[in-house]
Amino acid sequence: MKPVFDRDIKWSYDRKCLNDQPDPSVVDREWLALVEDDGRAYLLKRGSGEVKVRGLGRFNVDQVLEGLQIGDSVTIGQKVLRILKPGLPEARRAMKRRAQIVLAKDSGYLISRMGISVGSIVLEGGHGSAGLAMHLASVMGSSGLLISVENRPEHASVGKENMDVLREILPEFPEWHLLESDLRDSAEAISLITPQIDAAILDLAEPWSTVRTISGLLRPGGRLGCYCPTSIQLEKSWNACEEAGLSIEWAGEVIERRWSKASRGGVRPGNQPVGHTAFLLIAMNSNEQI
């Protein structure tokens, strides 16, 4: 194994930089969510001056929001928006996207089924635009540890930007490390941060290729989750988990069907359910620690 700081495995963002507390002058600038009636949200920070926001145009944040508080309405152009205190839902709606994200229906199921909560130590393989990482950060608290690995710099930069905004919005945020490297070559770098992990979620093109390596980092009772858009990926990941000595706990998919009001009264299922996004596979390390 080459040294961790070899050019083949590099820290994309300095560890000290990621874990430092934000500058007090930045914290004092309050984040606000401007929300349309249909739920579309825009995140703005007081003190930002003139900005250009897609969907709203160019305007001066401080002039538009002067004297307004949370709960008030504001008119920008032709749109009337409600000013709210932002949380995870608003941050996700307003997030920047480059890669396809893991939706809330899958993120929530994985977090709940895998027992991820305050203080958990979690590895995320495939960070993308941070859709899954934002959900993880929201439940792990300040005592949690989240390690995200992404091998595409253009995706890592977008994900980091979204996570940096969420860090300032949430009341608590876990210790977070973002490694820019191939997950198959990152075991040594991860082990320098923590000797064991409680859970790992893999959102990769070939999750089965990393299962054996990552399973060695799981504590006894720890769980591995695979996000597999196709049945072929599911089958190969399933086989890889069994070959690595993991016990399959659950495999399947989560279908979301919204309901809406009918024009003549009553409620009915919506016409466009959120169908298949991916198959989810959850396996547990049931081996005793040697």
Q: What is the CA radius of gyration of the chain?
A: 21
Instruction: Name which of 118, 131, 130 is nearest 172 in CA terms.
Output: 118
C-alpha 106/C-alpha 255 separation (Å) is 9
Q: DSSP of 29-77, one letter per residue?
A: S-EEEEE-TTS-EEEEETT--EEEETTTEEEEHHHHHTT--TT-EEEET
For residue 288, what pLDDT is reported? 66
Residue 280: Cβ-neighbour burial (10 angstroms; 0-12, 13-18, 19+): buried
Chosen CATH of 24-86 out of 1.10.3720.10, 3.40.50.720, 3.10.330.20, 3.40.50.2000: 3.10.330.20
Fold of 93-284: Rossmann fold (3.40.50)
| Prediction pTM value | 0.86
C-alpha 211/C-alpha 217 separation (Å) is 10
For residue 81, what pLDDT is reported? 97
Given 3-state DSSP classes, what are the helix, strand and coil percentages for the chain, each rounded to the nearest 5? Answer: 30, 30, 40
Contact 41, 94 (CB under 8 A): yes
The domain locations on the chain are 24-86, 93-284
Per-residue pLDDT of the chain (290 residues; tens, 9 = 90+): 333 333 333 333 333 334 444 444 443 489 999 999 999 999 999 999 999 999 999 999 999 999 999 999 999 999 999 999 999 999 999 999 988 899 999 999 999 999 999 999 999 999 999 999 999 999 999 999 999 999 999 999 999 999 999 999 999 999 999 999 999 999 999 999 999 999 999 999 999 999 999 999 999 999 999 999 999 999 999 999 999 999 999 999 999 988 888 888 899 888 777 788 999 999 999 986 54
Between helix 104-113 and helix 131-140 the angle, nearest 10°, is 40
C-alpha 227/C-alpha 281 separation (Å) is 7
3-state secondary structure string across 71-100: CCEEEECCEEEEEECCCHHHHHHHCCCCCC
Task: Please enumerate in sequence order all residues whose Cβ is within 8 A of that of 286, keeping only pairs 6 or more positions apart, or say none.
Answer: 220, 221, 246, 247
Place of tokens 């969420």: 166
